């Protein structure tokens, strides 16, 4: 059997090195994009959690403000302590401006259901 150099099959060492270099560059770019996408996902998750916590805090504040002064006689002034250098705050109680589901001044919470 006579082997000729031109009949050999396969890749040369130079071809393998070039293909590995190109593959390394492509994989480096892919990993770079994946890293930035993961950071963006973590940032979005953090902002979403913060917005959720702020929403819960606002709901609690609104509920507390709605209930402030409830059960006090009409016309009573409630003084709220304030910090040094701040203006004093006074809250004057009055009847609710929005009638409840059960009628004005019934004192019952509005549950959305008729009384049983």
Q: Are residues 20 and 63 in the same domain?
A: yes
Question: What is the arithmetic mean of pLDDT over 96-100?
Answer: 54
* pLDDT at residue 113 in the model: 53
* pLDDT at residue 89 in the model: 61
Q: Mean of the per-residue pLDDT values for the chain?
A: 76
Listed range (32-36, 83-87, 105-109) with the worst mean pLDDT: 105-109
Q: Are residues 84 and 100 in the same domain?
A: yes
Q: Are residues 42 and 88 in the same domain?
A: no
From 71, 66, 75, select the one nearest 93 (Cα to Cα): 75
Confidence check: pLDDT of 103 > 90 = no
Q: pTM score, two decimals?
A: 0.45
Answer yes or no: is 27 within a domain: yes
Higher-pLDDT residue of 100, 32: 32
Q: How far is CA 7 from the centre of its chain?
A: 66
Which residues constitute the domain of residue 49?
9-67
Answer yes or no: is 1 within a domain: no
What is the chain's percent helix, strand, coil content, to nearest 5?
50, 10, 40
Write out pLDDT tens, residues 43-84.
Answer: 999 999 999 999 999 998 888 877 776 766 666 666 666 667
**76 within 8 A of 68, measured Cβ to Cβ:** no
For tokens 């060492």, what's the residue?
13
Question: Distance between CA 10 and CA 14 in Å, rounded?
Answer: 12
Q: What is the CA radius of gyration of the chain?
A: 36
């Amino acid at each position: 059997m006579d082997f000729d150099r031109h009949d050999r099959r396969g890749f040369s060492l130079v071809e393998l090195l070039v293909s590995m270099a190109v593959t390394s560059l492509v994989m480096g770019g892919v990993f770079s994009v994946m890293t930035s996408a993961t950071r963006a996902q973590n940032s979005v998750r953090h902002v979403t959690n913060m917005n959720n916590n702020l929403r819960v805090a606002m709901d609690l504040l609104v509920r507390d403000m709605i209930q402030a002064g409830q059960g006090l006689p009409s016309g009573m002034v409630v003084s709220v302590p304030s910090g040094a250098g701040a203006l004093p705050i006074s809250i004057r109680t009055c009847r609710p401006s929005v009638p409840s589901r059960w009628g004005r001044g019934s004192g019952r919470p509005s549950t959305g259901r008729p009384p049983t």
